[in-house]
Chain A
């Protein structure tokens, strides 16, 4: 079965500093996708970044980058130059389309609070 783990329930970060959010996953599928979503206090889910299991380069989207270590089954999100608007809940998610069905499995989330 697919499993995804975010071990940091919450963290503080100083404005303008970088922060790394941890995410580890487990799947027997060879082809899969990893996503990060942001959920601000208003509740909506905002897509941030995607990494495919066969992608050799780490994904980057503006201030977001994904540190993908396939052998370790980790997909950490790095936010550079944190801003106050980055305060939110962040979810890592694993997509698999194997015999278990097409599923997107979410981690428990990490709450980030950016301090001015």
Chain B
């Protein structure tokens, strides 16, 4: 089954404790991205990757890091999480960066930073 898998689904942690949210897709997609969703703001893009070893900032990259060492994986790293990063996070992928392709989303990761 074609899917985007995020882990963990839920996490409560404390300020400053490094965490990683993993994202994996099994569709051989080139393009992957991370979003955060906050009430009234919709989804905002954090980082995206056009292919292996190619990453770029989205609209809200501050406080986040990503890496793309393999095509299937695109982890999101919070080196020193802060309460304002409490949010619902989505990973997504599409076959290429072409505009007419819908993104496949993971089920989301709800992070609470205390």
- Contact check, B45 vs A104: say whether CB atoms are below 8 A apart: yes
Contact A105 B102 (CB under 8 A): no
Binds B, one of A12-20, A39-47, A66-74, A75-83: A39-47
Main secondary structure of the interface of A (DSSP, over half): strand
**Which chain A residues border B14 with CB–CB below 8 Å?**
none
Known: A44-B105, A52-B100, A96-B99. Contact between A101 and B42, CB under 8 A? no
Tell me what chain B mostly uses at the interface: helix, strand, loop, or mixed. Answer: strand
B42 to A91, Cβ gap below 8 A? yes
The B18-63 residues at the A interface (CB cut-off 8 A) are: 31, 33, 35, 40-45, 48, 50, 56-59
A93 and B100 CA atoms in complex are apart in Å by 12
Shortest distance in angstroms between B44's beta carbon and chain A's nearest beta carbon? 7
Contact between chains at B88 and A103 (CB < 8 Å): no
Q: Tell me, in angstroms, the Cα distance from A50 to B41 when the chains sit together.
A: 21
Q: Is the CB of B42 within 8 A of A107?
A: yes
Residues A32 and B107 in contact, CB atoms below 8 Å apart: no
Interface residues on chain B, number (Cβ under 8 Å)? 28
Q: How many A-B residue pairs have CB under 8 A?
A: 63
- B86 interface residue, CB < 8 Å from A? no
B108 within 8 A of A: yes
A 77-113 contacts with B by CB, 8 A: 91, 93, 95-97, 101-109
CB distance from B88 to the nearest CB of A (A): 7
| Among all A-B residue pairs, the 3 with the closest Cβ atoms | A33-B99, A106-B42, A45-B105
User: What are 17 contact pairs spanning A and B, CB under 8 A?
Assistant: A35-B102, A37-B105, A44-B108, A45-B90, A50-B102, A97-B99, A101-B48, A101-B58, A102-B31, A102-B50, A103-B45, A104-B33, A104-B103, A105-B59, A106-B35, A106-B42, A108-B41
